[in-house]
Structure 1
Amino acid sequence: MSTVTPADTFRRSVDADRSDRPLLDGRLRDLLAGKKILMTGVTGFIGEQLLWKILTELPETTPAVLVRRKRSADARARMITVVKKEIFRGVREAAGGPEALLDSRIDVIEGDLPNVPVLPSDIDVVVHCAGDVSFDPPIDQAFTTNVVGTQALMDRMIEACSDDDGNLLKVPHYVHISTAYTAGRRRGAIPEAAHVHTIDHRAETRAGLAMRDLIEAESRTSERLTALRKEAEREHRQAGYLTTAADTERRRLEWVQSELVTAGTERARSLGWTDVYTFTKALGERVVAEVGAGVEVSVVRPAIVESSWLHPYPGWIEGFKMAEPLILAYGRGELPEFPASPDSVIDIVPCDHVVNAILAVCATHPTIGRPEFYHVSSGARNPLTFQGIYGQIREYFSEHPLEGGPRGAARLPQWQFPGAGSVERLLATSERAHTIANRLLDAAPRSARTRKFANDLDRTRGRLSFLRRYLSLYNEYAQSELHFVDDHTLALTESLHPDDQPVFAFDTAVYDWKTYIQDVHCPSITSSIRRMDALRRRRGKRPTTMRDLGRDTAGSTAMAVFDLDGTIMSTNVIEQYLWSRLPGLSAPRQVAELGQVLQKLPSYLWAERRDRSAFLRAVYRRYAGADLAALEQFVDTELAPTILSRLSPDAGRRIREHRAAGHRTVLVTGVVRPLTRPLEPLFDVIVAADLATDAGGRCTGFLTGPPLVGESRAAWLHHYAALNGIDLARSFAYADSHSDLPMLAAVGHAVAVSPDIALMRAANANQWTSVEWKIAPMTPRWALPR
């Protein structure tokens, strides 16, 4: 009795009907000699190696490449960048340089999908590698590239090979690079044939393209804009209206993008596909069959394409593909579980096998009107399960750990494969805990410890967002029970000429997974990470906006702008008011005044959270009746030591460094001007709040103009810089509060000083340096001046 596996019951004999399949009857260099192969997607992963293979192994084949302009770089400039890469070194040097290589071997055509230009009439084969390969593109983008772009390319191909009456002068061979996962959410054996479904690709394309206008229109409704504006105001109200407006628009655009992604995912799953990528690729195959009814058509369906097995060298890869982010996250100890079925097959295929298969298919001649399909996969004859790849990766990182932080290498999680439901519950629980912790953080007092906790919380949020995104994307693939039959592909590789076997073979059963994963793939994808870690260790910390002023050459064309409260001094406007008011009162009146301030304190704090200008105005009303000249004298004679005792020594040194560098030093504050008098020797310019007075010199409780806060500070900087020849790109700003975000954004070198949480997060996002300027006052905070 023979043993038959489930997979064997779906396999056909490779020799049973060989005559019915397009096979190879000579060497590829001879079969493709004199041919012009038009390629799309040459700047991508597969396309780049495909071009390299043609240039190195098919000397009498002419590659033509369709390349789109990217910003100021035209198609030729982009191709020069491509052939300057290391894998093209041999052919580049043999040709005499990158320009000479393009001139002698490569036809460059500038164009895009779906805006395909007129194609040359001498093309023999078209290889369509381009496409939107992310799993979650916006629905309109996926249809534009994978469906509309495919039809546009095929129409241009047929037009190029036809006379003015539309009659074909030559029959081109169209080779479409699809994906094995166009099978969707099916289970079991997937034959190398067209998928059976009744989806109207024209109707789906019209609907998919129309989604952007629908969602854009919804994003502009009053209800949606109100919700987005309130979210922005909660975060940016203190910074000003323009900052809030900009953030509202950012949120609207993000909402549109998110909704387009969701629309694509849900439409795909409602029709039986895992995501909009595989859905639109499947519809693209249907377009290929219809439009290509009168030409030779082949469809190549790779599985999960990863680094090369042999060529151009073991482990060659461009960028991170499907598995790499997850492998690296596991190596860092940041992937505690994965929602895979341990016995499900992860169908990985090396890139060079895919490229070799494509070129072999290019050399065949399928029957006109009957597309041929080829699965380039490993699961049929060299299956790798999720349990298997987990074991290989864990073993690799156990022997070759990634560089850790101060605590050493990360602890590798031990997966139990509890199932998708358990992983989802674990992730959801962690997300809820993070949300609660973040809310508690809002009420925490500002301190270095609070900032450290916030940074830790943000790192956790980053890990949770990573897990949420990738688990959502790959959950379906991780539990896939697809079996890709690859009889056609196996027959084709076995028909290779013996002399082509060492260079062009693509039988995925020839390698073992331990060697591929532990000796080829993992070392390749971690090498760049290890180099960056080593570079960071040599260079130290990331680039800083807290520049060494001894090397600064801006001189008088730069200025250094400082905020006061919380930045260079440990104080606030209420405390400053009490300093100036209480010493002149009797003990009973001091108690009464302090009681009134405490009674008003909740309303002051509420006003500050909503509008710092309103807060300052409310506090400064209490100066009504004060003699301004007497206040100034009191500051000069009595209060100055108290004020200077609150000045940070670090801030004082930095201000003096700026003055020594020739920079103009500026203090911008909402504090009333009399209280800034002790600081005048440090600054060239002081912008402060001026108290209005009556004819007798007594304060009215009002200001002479609006206090300079939030966006008004940035406006002042721009105006002052224009009047005085200041280069803001070479200037510096120092502040502690999120309300100063516009001011910091106005200069080239922004520094967050002991920032609040909102500013700390903005500084991290903008790669601004954060510093802690310690302040140890000589007198206790509760002590009043004499």
Structure 2
Amino acid sequence: MHFHPPLSDVVTMVSIPEYYEGKNVLITGATGFLGKVLLEKLLRSCSKVKAVYVLVRRKAEQNPQERVEEMISCKLFDRLREEQPDFKTKIIAVTSELTQPELDLSEQDKETLIDCINIVFHCAATVRFNETLRDSVKLNVIGTQQLIHLAQRMKKLEVFMHFSTAYAYCNQKHIEEIVYPPPVDPKKLIDSLEWMDDGLINDITPKLIGTRPNTYTYTKALAEYVMQQEGTKLNIGIIRPSIVGASWKEPFPGWIDNFNGPSGIFIAAGKGILRTMRASNSAVADLVPVDVVVNATLAAAWYSGMNRPRNVMVYNCTTGGTNPFHWGEVERYLNLSFKMNPLEQTVRRPHVKIYTNSLLLQFWRTVGHILPALFSDVVLRLTGQKPWMMKAITRLHKALMFLEYFTSNSWTWSTDNMTMLMNQLSPEDKKTFNFDVRQLHWAEYMENYCMGTKKYVLNEEMSGLPAARKHLNKLRNIRYGFNTVLVILIWRIFIARSQMARNIWYFVVSLCYKFLSYFRASSTMRY
């Protein structure tokens, strides 16, 4: 059931920046990819926000304020630094550990948060697909539970926004904007994990998660149910992004700062290490730019704060239903982008190919990945260098294995709430907080994404592009030379020993010679 406000309420609504004016905001996971983009956008586009409290874990070598200082020194905050030089005065670091009782907050910090927070954005989560069930439940479920308990005591709280994933219910093909019944009662699971040893937990994990591919999607489904059941007095919104990728427009195109998800795969393709992967050409690659997710989240919190809907509002933040992009197209644009703007020190010319057939995939993995890696490591050893290629290929295959489920299947998501939310925005807010993915041009986005991995993840300068292109041409010439030598070897070993093969060879060569002679004669006659 979706809540729609009366028309009169829509007309009198304040703008999104006006809503955040004077508000105190709490963000968990602010040092993560999504969290830091949310922090930057909130401070830049809602400049009159009063303060942003960020929960930060202790690290032996850094205190929370130092961690925040390091985070905001990255390129993501360049535009904000230019527009609002004193923006850091609004960021308040709070030492916390989500998995500990009472979030491991000091009494003073706890009282401060209870007294002043107006809006909570819960971004913190473990996004590792191969996380153990115990650790995944700790952060994704128990951490959420602890935060809800604190939120219920907050005197001025208006909205609680929770980041989930569009794949929380990937065990079904069509996913509505509702919270589904959980695969297991979260309380019973949490109680069981307390007395089970790690060996037993690992043994029962496959049975518990069932047809879901990993503990991440499983615990995200549990967290949604915990939100709904234990946050009954709260005004809750749940954002479900699909595969979060580089920024589309903000703060500038192609910003990305990690190897997670598709980014690591793209870089491996750009370096010429990744040659083949399992995917279906026709399967939808439901990539969603990080700034689209952040803009939709800020708008959703504004909507819930202004309208106080009766039910938990769920938003499927996806692209496949409105602007589909397929893995076959990802393959094409990857190869094209990295040939036009190559990465430095590529191992081979970028040329990734996708397969659905297991036998073909295994054959080309052996030919394209394993054998060249072994050969490369032998050369490195002989030249006194440390071998690394086989290690890199093993890590790559492991990462690809976790992604195969998502690259080989397609889902459809209802996006009625996303459409409704977009329709509530004023023309000005639609520009400032744009999340209309119908406007997204995939070829341009992929080019910016690939450039973003070069500039922001690998920290390569654009001035190095001519040299990188030269290196790519050199690799092409080496490949042509190798292929020529291979043809001569095949000729000497196989064809030269067979009279029939020689006859076929001579026939093909003479046919080519006749064609060239005819072509030359025709050209001469024209003149």
TM-score normalised by L of structure 2? 0.76
C-alpha change, 1:82 and 1:384, in structure 2 (3 Å) is same
> For residue 398 of structure 1, what is the aligned residue in structure 2?
339
1:397 shift after superposition:
2.0
Task: Tell me if structure 1 keeps the 8 A contact 2:114–2:153.
Answer: no
Cα distance between partner residues in 1 of 2:320 and 2:178:
17
Task: Tell me if structure 2 keeps the 8 A contact 1:139–1:263.
Answer: no
Cα distance between partner residues in 1 of 2:385 and 2:255:
36
> For residue 486 of structure 2, what is the aligned residue in structure 1?
none
Cα distance between partner residues in 2 of 1:326 and 1:93:
33
* Structure 1 residue 125 corresponds to structure 2 residue 119: yes
Match of 1:72 among 55, 58, 61: 61
1:130 shift after superposition:
0.7
> For residue 285 of structure 1, what is the aligned residue in structure 2?
224
Task: Tell me if structure 1 keeps the 8 A contact 2:161–2:238.
Answer: yes
1:207 shift after superposition:
3.8
1:124 shift after superposition:
1.6
* Structure 1 residue 199 corresponds to structure 2 residue 184: yes
Task: Tell me if structure 2 keeps the 8 A contact 1:339–1:417.
Answer: yes
Structure 1 unaligned spans of 5+: 1-11, 162-169, 219-259, 442-447, 539-786
Task: Tell me if structure 2 keeps the 8 A contact 1:175–1:300.
Answer: yes
Match of 1:294 among 207, 210, 233: 233
1:305 shift after superposition:
1.0
Name the stretch that deviates more: 493-502 or 281-290: 493-502
1:321 shift after superposition:
2.7
> For residue 436 of structure 2, what is the aligned residue in structure 1?
507
Cα distance between partner residues in 2 of 1:86 and 1:332:
23
* Structure 1 residue 159 corresponds to structure 2 residue 159: no
The SS at the match of 1:175 is strand
Cα distance between partner residues in 1 of 2:414 and 2:10:
18
Provide the identity percentage: 25
Task: Tell me if structure 2 keeps the 8 A contact 1:265–1:275.
Answer: no
The SS at the match of 1:121 is helix
C-alpha change, 1:530 and 1:151, in structure 2 (3 Å) is closer
1:91 shift after superposition:
4.8
Question: Where in structure 2 are the equivalents of 1:437-586 lying within 5 Å?
Answer: 451-452=381-382, 458-518=387-447, 520-527=448-455, 528-529=457-458, 531=460
Cα distance between partner residues in 2 of 1:289 and 1:205:
17
1:145 shift after superposition:
0.5
Cα distance between partner residues in 1 of 2:214 and 2:382:
39
1:495 shift after superposition:
1.6
C-alpha change, 1:49 and 1:412, in structure 2 (3 Å) is closer
Task: Tell me if structure 2 keeps the 8 A contact 1:292–1:369.
Answer: no
Match of 1:266 among 203, 206, 223: 206
Letter paired with 1:34: G
* Structure 1 residue 110 corresponds to structure 2 residue 95: yes
C-alpha change, 1:433 and 1:54, in structure 2 (3 Å) is closer
Cα distance between partner residues in 2 of 1:142 and 1:424:
31
C-alpha change, 1:126 and 1:432, in structure 2 (3 Å) is closer
C-alpha change, 1:452 and 1:310, in structure 2 (3 Å) is same
1:209 shift after superposition:
5.3
> For residue 325 of structure 1, what is the aligned residue in structure 2?
264
1:398 shift after superposition:
2.6
Task: Tell me if structure 2 keeps the 8 A contact 1:374–1:489.
Answer: yes
C-alpha change, 1:201 and 1:48, in structure 2 (3 Å) is same
1:158 shift after superposition:
0.8
Task: Tell me if structure 2 keeps the 8 A contact 1:264–1:275.
Answer: no
After superposition, give the CA deviation of every residue in 1:601-622 in whole Å (9 maximum; x if it has no partner): xxxxxxxxxxxxxxxxxxxxxx
Cα distance between partner residues in 1 of 2:245 and 2:380:
43
After superposition, give the CA deviation of every residue in 1:334-392 in whole Å (9 maximum; x if it has no partner): 22221111100011111111111111111122656621100111111101000011111
> For residue 43 of structure 1, what is the aligned residue in structure 2?
31
1:47 shift after superposition:
1.2
C-alpha change, 1:171 and 1:49, in structure 2 (3 Å) is closer
C-alpha change, 1:529 and 1:110, in structure 2 (3 Å) is closer
After superposition, give the CA deviation of every residue in 1:619-669 in whole Å (9 maximum; x if it has no partner): xxxxxxxxxxxxxxxxxxxxxxxxxxxxxxxxxxxxxxxxxxxxxxxxxxx
1:265 shift after superposition:
6.3
* Structure 1 residue 180 corresponds to structure 2 residue 166: yes
The SS at the match of 2:134 is helix
After superposition, give the CA deviation of every residue in 1:172-210 in whole Å (9 maximum; x if it has no partner): 3211011111012322x2111112444211222334455
The SS at the match of 1:349 is strand
Letter paired with 2:235: E
Cα distance between partner residues in 2 of 1:522 and 1:450:
29
Match of 1:312 among 223, 227, 251: 251
1:319 shift after superposition:
1.9
Structure with greater contact order relative to length (CA < 8 Å, sep ≥ 6): 2
After superposition, give the CA deviation of every residue in 1:578-622 in whole Å (9 maximum; x if it has no partner): xxxxxxxxxxxxxxxxxxxxxxxxxxxxxxxxxxxxxxxxxxxxx
C-alpha change, 1:198 and 1:333, in structure 2 (3 Å) is closer
After superposition, give the CA deviation of every residue in 1:38-59 in whole Å (9 maximum; x if it has no partner): 1111111111121112212213
> For residue 386 of structure 1, what is the aligned residue in structure 2?
327
Task: Tell me if structure 2 keeps the 8 A contact 1:139–1:209.
Answer: no
> For residue 417 of structure 1, what is the aligned residue in structure 2?
355
C-alpha change, 1:400 and 1:156, in structure 2 (3 Å) is same
Task: Tell me if structure 2 keeps the 8 A contact 1:303–1:376.
Answer: yes
Question: Where in structure 2 are the equivalents of 1:421-436 lying within 5 Å?
Answer: 422-424=360-362, 427=365
C-alpha change, 1:460 and 1:107, in structure 2 (3 Å) is closer
Letter paired with 2:436: D
Aligned residues: 450
Letter paired with 2:136: A
The SS at the match of 2:278 is coil
Structure 2 unaligned spans of 5+: 468-527
> For residue 643 of structure 1, what is the aligned residue in structure 2?
none
1:414 shift after superposition:
5.2
TM-score normalised by L of structure 1? 0.52
Cα distance between partner residues in 1 of 2:80 and 2:345:
40
